[in-house]
Structure 1
Amino acid sequence: MRNLLLLIILSLCGSITTQASRHSQDTAYVKMTLHYFDLYQKGKDEKAYYNAAKQMKDYLLDHNDKELYYTIRSQEVIFDANLGKTYRALQKVNTILKDIEQEKNKDSYVQLIDYTLGSIYHLRGNYRLAEYYYKKANEKCAPTDSPSRMDIYSQMAELKLVGSPKEADQWIEKLGDLTRASHNPEYHKAYLMLKGKLYFYHKDRWSFDKIYRDFFSIQRKHPEFDNGGVALMKAMDLAFSGDYQSALQLINAENNEIEAIDKPGLRIQIYKMMDRYDLALDEFRKIKMRRDSLDTDMLFDSMSEIDTQMSIYNRTKHMADKNRKMLIASLFTICVMLTLALISIIYHHLMRRRYQKTIEQKNRELSVALEQATESDRMKTAFIEHVSHEIRTPLNIITGYVQLIGNPEYEISPEEHTEMVNSINENSNMITTIFNELLDIAQYSSNKKFVCEDMVNVGSFLKTIIGDAEEKNKGRLQLIAENTEPDDFTIKTNKIALCRVLSQLMDNAIKFTKSGSVTLGFHADKASKTLQFTVTDTGIGIPLAHQEKVFERFYKVDLFKQGFGLGLPICRKVSELLGGTIVVDKDYVGGARFILTLPML
């Protein structure tokens, strides 16, 4: 890892430059500072950076500037952490703490150490400890220390960007309040960059576009600003525009301003936008491997450090008691190294098991996503086929009759005119019914449960359903209501929803019955506390193999029979929203019988 965020460097540099105004007349110091920050930002030449840092510290100690002195030492720690030297960085923090203990105003420097520890753990991926130390630093930060607060707010926002967007937005807005109060457009540009990342990770294109315009408006007005954040914003905009390959190329380019710590998360988000969850999972594996590698490096750094310290110890005590001390030191070293090796083996074993579980879970998720995509494609195809078939016929009839009626060259008798108008109305109603069913299935799919507060008299309700069905039956079949309960028996339900189910079942029964009867029945089972409605006909029945499939959307036993294949799926969905079930009675062979079972409320 190199730099945690471009914003850290910008704000830290700005903070020190502001504080260093007391040395601004010293040309040598100004030149030394610029050289130091150039090496810090590049993060490559370790030896040259440490030499520059030593020159800075020596100068500041000579001028008794302890505040900037400890700031440089803290930056040196973050530089080590960027290089993956976590153990060395933590050792330096302990050394800085010991030195601060000797200072008179030591409390003013503790906040800087908390922030530094937060940065170390942030780089290692230990977000829980990073958050802990950032919050401690925030508690100790002076209300007037705006640059430090900007650093802390930006890092807390970064920690929460993906997992807790609301909390991330709160930290970003705190940063925005400070940047607006500072009237510094370069600070505000950093705020806009964080805001843009938040909207990108949560796919809010409209909000991102506004932030994007504001960001580049500042960039155009201030060409003297560096290009920090430009490549990042352009990559996110390309991804939102669907140009995923260009976005990935920009992110993967080596010579750009996008920080290495940001790149894996950006790639994962773009892969998700591409529906390439396999690539997202592969990127996630790489992140895990890098974090495991950091932990392993820290472990072996610790072992090497202990080994070095033991060697020094052996040489120091060699003249006093060579044989005995060497033996004790060697045994101690071996024990420590064996213990650490055992810890490493156990740790990697546990990580491998956790990693395997993660892979298995992701594979299951990918399998489910594939099944859902396949089912969605099948449903889309079925929808297009059904719409084309069911709407084309009535539309053709309507169009043909309208052309005949509207053409003055055709002589049409009053009887023919009436018949054509009736046919147009009938087919218009048919199309309206199709779209009503589509709207109903969409509405019911978004509901969780119906409110059941209506008190319904069952006897009167059954008669109403029978009466409505008779309008379509027109005396062709015998419609019967059978109620095993007393005339004043009432139930608590959602009357409109229940009427929707029973009316649909009655319509289906009349439609598929040529002769005989259709019976609407009701029975209350007080033992099981359930209500049972049945619709029984003497029609063509439903073959056993199709009795469950008829509840699937667009499914039709007879493809040439009029209908859209949504009536029974709507019935089942409504029954579920009422807390009940609907099935075909497999034991009834004289036609078809549907059984609607609801809880007794």
Structure 2
Amino acid sequence: MKKSRSFVLLLMNVLPSHQLCLIGAAMLLFLSACNRPLVPFAAENGVDSIWADSAYQRAKKAEFYYNNNLKDSLFKQVAEDMAFDKEHQQWNWYYYSWMLLVNKCTFSGDVKRALEESNLMHSDATERNNAYGLALAKYAMALVYACQENYEEATIGFEEALRRYPKDCDPSVLFVIYYYYSSTLEEKHDMKSNEEVLTLWKATLDKTFQESDKYDDTKALWLYQYYKALFGFHFSQQDLAQATDDLDSMQYYVEHSGNTVFGVAYVTSSRSKLALASKDYATAIAYNNKEYAESKKLGPTIYMKAVERRAEILEAMGMYREALKLRNEFDRLKDSLNQADSQHELNEMAKRYELDELRTQQEKEKDALKQRQMNFIKAFAAILFFIMLVVSIIRHRSRLRLAQEHQKLTDAYKQLTIANEKAEESSKMKTMFIKQMSHEIRTPLNILSGFTQVLTSTDVELDEETRAEVNERITKNTARITELVNKMLELSDANSTSVIEKNDTITVEQIIISAVESVGMSSYKMIDFRTEIAPEANNKTLLTNYDQSVRALSLILANARKFLQKPTGEANGQSIGKIRLKAGLQADNLIAFAVEDSGIGVPPSEAEHIFEEFVQLDSYYEGMGIGLTVARSIARRLGGDITLDTTFTGGARFIMTLPLS
């Protein structure tokens, strides 16, 4: 794995040498883990897996910037990634990207921002109750404390991070936390706690990688890191035998993880270190020679460590002059690396400035091109919209015309249907009227014919009483025929729209008295009949036609009387009901004559039908069905009207209105 010189140099400048051992080695571990493919997090509930894949690809891009110490690009990428992850609810990747930003601030020496970001991350994860986010926040915060040599707080943070780390998340970051935790305890010289952490780490490794073979290469990498930490633990305890076993295990797993150059170099360096501690100087020099040769391929930083190791061996052997030369070489290399890194940073800044200028110009050209394209698209869209609008208007108007024509045809068909129905009904009613008229006229004619034959017969002699009765019957039936003829004439006149002349000034009481006498209501002893005139209407006069107004009211009274009587007549001398004639003042300067009866009543649905010609709701009652038609025609031609009060119960109530003078 390639490691940036500027990044390592930055650590050397901002951290003490012993702290550099802790953080530098651990950072190398973290970068190694980042360069290996991560197992993507499982798609969160209800979220399409395509967003999880996209978030994973974005995180890999951020890792590239992180590994190559491209800080500005990293911060920009992380901001974009976090916005994307938040929009699509990829919270695990959201906190992973945030962790990269915090760690970069930590290793860049920006401790203030690192603490601020880690605290914000912790608050955000707490609000969302996200265990992975809380674990990474605690880990990032602990790392800041470790860099500041605040090992007590760092230990608490690492322990909390391990406790909160979800079991179903990628284990790479979990193993990094174990490494930092172990390294921090080693710096703290808390060997007991470090031993416990190493034990837990090994148990977690075994549990993680025992279920699937696809993690074999990854398992080798992390076991190498584990034994590297275990080697440091035993070496610091001066348990050189156990440290030797750890080193053998390290080499075994380096070989099975691909013999990475850094892994091989670290094993060689550790064998030289172990031989030096065992005072086996020949072996130490032999491994250092190999380390010395390999380190030149890995860059000045690793080479400097090899030079420093050789100086330590020579000093242990008492070869102080040669050791001093190597110490001077180490300082020269360090200064040279500082200068090279500074120049590299300046070159990078210049290149970035030129690149930014070029990108700015390209962006301007792209924006101008996009603007032209957008203007063309807008113009084309406007033309297309106008054409569609015109076509839509034409089609809409065509549909309206078709709808209107269809509606006209429908209305004409409905009117024709109604007219046919009315014609059929009129034909039926006229037929019934003719039959009724035939019956109404034939009955009194038969009576007149019979009595005429009796009176003209020479063989028949009548006493005075019988003769008087015959005369009465003849007179009554003659009047009946006359009444029928008058009704026919009235019906003919009822269809006229001419206004009746109103030359008579008459009181309300006079109209009522005349109508009652015309109907002969006093002769119907079995009917409870009364008239009532409201005080406000008692002295009112009407400018109307006396005969016609009386006739209209008489027809209503006659209708009430007819439907109050039983079809069989006034049997058994019992009361057959009541009729009330009431007069009162109505709004709009009208007099209302209300005729109420306790008869069979009229259904509300027939309120208008009964005023049509020849309509009879009950065929058991005598009549031709023209009385109400004539009465309404008269009232309307006098300026009033006749209606049925559908709210009245217990019979029927007809209201005739006439205007005052």
Larger RCO (alpha carbons 8 Å, 6+ apart):
1
TM-score band by shorter chain is: 0.3 to 0.5
* Larger Rg belongs to: 2
TM-score (structure 2 length as normaliser): 0.36
TM-score (structure 1 length as normaliser): 0.39
